[in-house]
Chains A and B, each alone.
Chain A
């Protein structure tokens, strides 16, 4: 959790949000990663936005099922995301039951939102060229703008190591892009 969200940067959401404010912070923290995940799977910003919205609605409904002993909250959330995706693919339409039950409005995709989501997707494609460790570090720092301390806590390594991975990852990308030119 980054400082800008106003939550403890050390907790990494190892515990489920228990009130509305912390759930909103949880949403802000994972909105873009979830959108990026769905963009990678479906390739369309409008669908990714719909799937993301249903994922968070489902998460809110089933927050009582989250058990920190079985994994972090982000792992739990992405488990729900996969389930929403699977159910939507099976039925041929984006599931919306949880949003209906909660009375949530449809997400409104304006130009800005569409561009942000597409950038998430293109960034992910570029990152695929990197080794896993560097990709995770660059994604967390550059795309999701998270603090080094927070990333180190989540990846269970030192801040220095995270900085090194980000630096090497960016260097690799620079060299690759230069080569493509």
Chain B
């Protein structure tokens, strides 16, 4: 029996709604939407229509390229576009209204990310059209450079989120991906104010990179089902449809898995793979004991378990600075036992907090700081904390852990220490947190 049976019941019901076999975008990763600039858009529909018509005739003029956002650099965050990291156009799709088709390319970054960039296509180049408020409605084609990538304002390996904007998404190298950008402006401007756009100006982009085993994808178009071949080798596909009423413009999601195994998620209903030279079909994930009615269903591969890694108890160096009777700064360092060469790995410093004894006094505190850039093996990794707070109420000690994480797993504690305030000084006290308490039943013990 669980500790919180009522919560378990509510969670069960939420899971029933969310994991239903035909649920819309069940179990998909939400994007962190990053809007670097807020455009003040004037709706000049006439000019937009004119531009699309010009584009259809192939005489659209070229304007200044899209300016990339400021990145964290080649060794931090998702990195920057690697030299020769940008592919040619790997998938194309017509626009429902005509005009320049849509295209997609792959951009590999210096930190092991694979990004999929989508835009309008002219002369084998991706770009944004100067319509619907983009580029002041200049009716020109603005090329998207390969380094116009979403800014990694979060460390997404730590925060378990995908990085993406309206037209680009990034995932760790080697992942099979099937995603959807909902309600993208037809200009392909990722920063368009789509929440206030007329639905007719919006598109739904289904895209993916399914890997070398994928052969085709099937999706529902009205009452019919359509099947399109994916690109050989990469398994890339791109489907552009009119915006679906009732959806949230500017939203999106992605399913991530392994080539040859990733299940389809809406709008896809089927993925055909060639596994071991035999064609097979993968439908949406079904509940256990549910019989699949697919012809030639793919078998489920077994993944080998990784061997447990040896425990580490590394030395940790701490240096305190004081101001009067208070510890005013703390520097922690370790010598990195492993290199960090991609966004897949990081080190994190956890400052632990303990109960003050009686459950009602509430004194505690703590924080976690993770590295977000490359580290050489044997290099010193430093954390600097201003005004470190005591782990307990006595203000004499602070317990810290250093954690190493590779991929999305738990991570391993590789060093621990209890740091004592120098004689005559104290750590800052842990403030009573602003965290709301869980609701207590009436009459429960105070």
Cβ contact within 8 Å between A108 and B4: yes
Closest chain-B Cβ to A132's Cβ sits at a distance in Å of 6
User: Residue-by-residue, is B4-22 near A (CB-CB < 8 Å gives 1, otherwise 0)?
Assistant: 1011101111111011000
Cβ contact within 8 Å between B28 and A64: yes
Closest chain-B Cβ to A70's Cβ sits at a distance in Å of 4
Cβ contact within 8 Å between A83 and B438: no
Contacts of B27 in A (CB 8 A): 60-64
Contacts of B256 in A (CB 8 A): 64-65, 67
Of the candidates B12, B158, B359, the one whose C-beta lies within 8 Å of that of A83 is B158
Contacts of B353 in A (CB 8 A): 41-43
Cβ contact within 8 Å between B6 and A114: no
Give the A interface residue count (CB, 8 A): 78
Interface residues of A in 92-109 (CB under 8 A from B): 92-94, 102-109
Of the candidates B19, B26, B161, B362, the one whose C-beta lies within 8 Å of that of A44 is B362
Contacts of A67 in B (CB 8 A): 175, 256-258, 408
Q: In the docked arrangement, what's the CA distance between A87 and B18, Å?
A: 24
Cβ contact within 8 Å between B440 and A109: yes
Closest chain-A Cβ to B404's Cβ sits at a distance in Å of 12
Q: In the docked arrangement, what's the CA distance between A126 and B10, Å?
A: 33
B98 at the interface (CB under 8 A from A): no
A172 at the interface (CB under 8 A from B): no
Closest chain-B Cβ to A18's Cβ sits at a distance in Å of 5
Cβ contact within 8 Å between A107 and B4: yes
Cβ contact within 8 Å between A78 and B410: yes
Residue of A nearest to B158 (CB): A83
Q: Beyond A64-B29, A93-B436, is A41–B366 a contact (Cβ under 8 Å)?
A: yes
Q: In the docked arrangement, what's the CA distance between A19 and B286, Å?
A: 8
Task: Kindly name the residue among A18, A78, A94 whose own CB sees the greatest number of chain B CB atoms within 10 A.
Answer: A18
Q: In the docked arrangement, what's the CA distance between A166 and B143, Å?
A: 64
Q: How large is the interface on B (under 10, 10 to 19, 20 to 34, 35 or more residues)?
A: 35 or more
B434 at the interface (CB under 8 A from A): yes
B306 at the interface (CB under 8 A from A): yes
Number of A-B contacts (CB under 8 A): 232
Q: Beyond A41-B352, A64-B255, is A49–B2 a contact (Cβ under 8 Å)?
A: no
Of the candidates A18, A57, A76, the one whose C-beta lies within 8 Å of that of B285 is A18
A90 at the interface (CB under 8 A from B): yes
Q: Beyond A23-B15, A85-B368, is A104–B362 a contact (Cβ under 8 Å)?
A: no
A50 at the interface (CB under 8 A from B): yes
Given contacts A20-B287, A76-B409, A109-B441, could you give 15 more A-B pairs where the C-beta distance is less than 8 Å?
A14-B303, A18-B287, A19-B15, A20-B12, A31-B4, A43-B354, A46-B440, A47-B437, A58-B160, A60-B11, A64-B26, A70-B408, A78-B410, A107-B438, A108-B440
**B interface residues with partner A (beta carbon < 8 Å):** 1-4, 6-8, 10-16, 18-19, 26-30, 158-162, 175, 253-258, 265, 285-288, 303, 305-308, 311, 348, 350, 352-356, 359, 362, 364, 366-368, 370, 403, 405, 407-411, 433-441, 444-445
**A interface residues with partner B (beta carbon < 8 Å):** 14, 17-24, 27-28, 31-32, 35, 40-47, 49-50, 53, 56-58, 60-72, 74-76, 78-80, 82-83, 85-90, 92-94, 102-114, 116-118, 121, 132, 155-156
A–B Cβ pairs within 8 angstroms, 26 of them: A18-B285, A18-B288, A21-B287, A23-B12, A24-B12, A28-B1, A35-B3, A42-B355, A42-B364, A57-B14, A60-B15, A61-B27, A64-B27, A65-B29, A65-B160, A69-B258, A79-B409, A80-B160, A86-B367, A88-B435, A92-B434, A93-B433, A103-B14, A110-B440, A110-B441, A113-B4
Q: Which A-B residue pairs are the 4 nearest by beta carbons?
A: A43-B355, A19-B287, A75-B409, A71-B409
